[in-house]
Each structure stands twice: as structure tokens, then as C-alpha cells.
Amino acid sequence: MNSKKRACEEIGIYSEEYVLSADTSQDKLLALVDTLNQKDGIHGILVQLPLPAHIDEDAVINAISPYKDVDAFHPVNVGKIMIGNYNFAPCTPAGIMELIAESGIDIKGKECVVVGRSNIVGKPMSMLLLHSHGTVTICHSRTKNLAEITRRADILVAAVGRPEMITGDMVKEGAVVIDVGMNRLEDNKLVGDVHFESCEKKAAAITPVPGGVGPMTIAMLMKNTVKSARLK
């Protein structure tokens, strides 16, 4: 949470942080969301996920005003992303699109393989790549012959949450490899879903963990918040 607060301070966005105890009731959390929905000076609301097991995540996401949903997790905003006409871009996928664009890579007609089908990354990522005219394949834990599919990718996005599972032999020569993973190992080391050393040898471009996708996600969160204020 600290990095989001710091980013707000750096660029002059007023922010409020509510650190609730893990046993906070769902009703109490929903009441807080509602207060912030009504509050004039607040243009963006982010509820940090995952939530404790006793809280219904969908109920909380549904309670956030779609106009303040800077994560773009509310079903209304998810639907808009699906259609391709949206105000709030999903932060992590949008950050990845910026990285790809800034690197001068054209997505049109490229084989894009997304490993992971989460609502936060895998699904919206696939939509953004599709809107940019990529040929998109979504892989997941039940996918057969995963390596065969990842080896086809011109652009490979790993968002599975399994430490270093994408290895060099799964990557095509000259591919663009994007690592969304944030896995904390037992020795406290932070690693991605991509085995960097072996994949770096094959890739034309590759993002590190930490320092690749993560800071871009926060930048996109700031962008959505400013956009929300402007739209208001």
C-alpha cells in the first residue's frame, strides 16, 4: 500500500488510507465504501485484494461506485472493457500495454499468449491485446501442452502466480516476455512467474521482477484517478 500512497504524494493527489483489522466485518467494510462513494473530494476507491475469507469479495467490488472504481473491477467497468469503450483501463494490463508501446512493439497480427485467467490480470489483459489486434490465446492450470503454446508467442504474458514456471525452453527466440508474477519465496526473495536468466537469453525484450510491471500498475492507477477527477 505504501507505494500507492507515495505515488499520490509525489504527484499531488490527496489520499486517505484505511487500514482495517483482518476481523473487520463485511458490513463495516461496505459502510466505509459507501461513505467514500458519497464523499465529494474522493475520485478513486481501491480496496486492496485479496480480502479475508469471511468477506465476499464480489459484494465489496459491486459496492464501489463504478465512477470511482479506478481498479476497473466493477462488473459495469469490466463489461465496458469487454466492449472496448471504457473510461478506466485495468491497471496492470494497461501498464503492460504502455510498456509494449513505449518499446516500439506493434501488437497487430502478433501471436499473444497470456498464461493466467484471473479477473485482475489474465482476462482484461487478453481483451486489451485483442483490441490492439493481437491473436490471443489464454492458457491456465488445465491447459495441455503449455510449452507448445507458449513457444508460439511473439508476446508472452505470464500471470499465474507460480514462481519462475516459465523457463527458457518455453520461449520463442525473439519473443517479448512480460512477467506479472510477484512470488515471495521462503527466504523472502521476490521472484516473478518467469525464470529470468534462461528466458532473457531468448527474449528480444523482457521485464524484470521487481521493477517491471509493478511500477507501471501504480502509474496507471494514478492515471485513472486523475481521469476520474477530470470526468467529474
- The minimum distance between CB 172 and ligand GUN, in angstroms, equals 28
Q: Which is nearer to ligand GUN, 92 or 150 (CB)?
A: 92
Q: Crossing angle of helices 91-102/122-131, nearest 10°?
A: 40
Catalytic residue among 5, 28, 48, 201: 48
For residues 65 and 73, give the distance between their C-alpha atoms in angstroms, rounded to a whole number.
Answer: 11
Q: What is the rounded distance in angstroms from the CA atom of residue 46 to the CA atom of residue 32?
A: 12
With respect to ligand GUN, which residue has the nearer C-beta, 72 or 171? 72
The answer to whether 48 is a known catalytic residue is yes
Q: Is 58 a catalytic residue?
A: no
**Min. distance of Cβ 127 from ligand GUN in angstroms?**
16
4 carries an active-site annotation: yes
Q: Which residues bind ligand GUN (CB under 6 A)?
A: 46-49, 71, 91-92, 120, 217
C-alpha of 98 from chain center = 12
Query: Minimum distance between the CB of residue 11 and ligand GUN, rounded to whole angstroms?
Result: 18
| Closer to ligand GUN by Cβ: residue 126 or 170 | 126
Q: Residue with the closest Cβ to ligand GUN?
A: 49
The letter for the amino acid at 1 is M
Cell 478506466 belongs to residue: 88
**Residue 210 Cβ vs ligand GUN, minimum distance, rounded to whole Å:** 14
Let me know if 95 is exposed, middle or buried by CB neighbors in 10 A (0-12, 13-18, 19+). Answer: buried
Candidates 69, 71, 179, 193; catalytic one: 71
Q: Closer to ligand GUN at the Cβ: 94 or 177?
A: 94
Phi and psi torsions of 28, nearest 5°: -65, -40
Query: Cis (ω within 30 of 0) for the bond into 124?
Result: no
Residues that are catalytic: 4, 48, 71
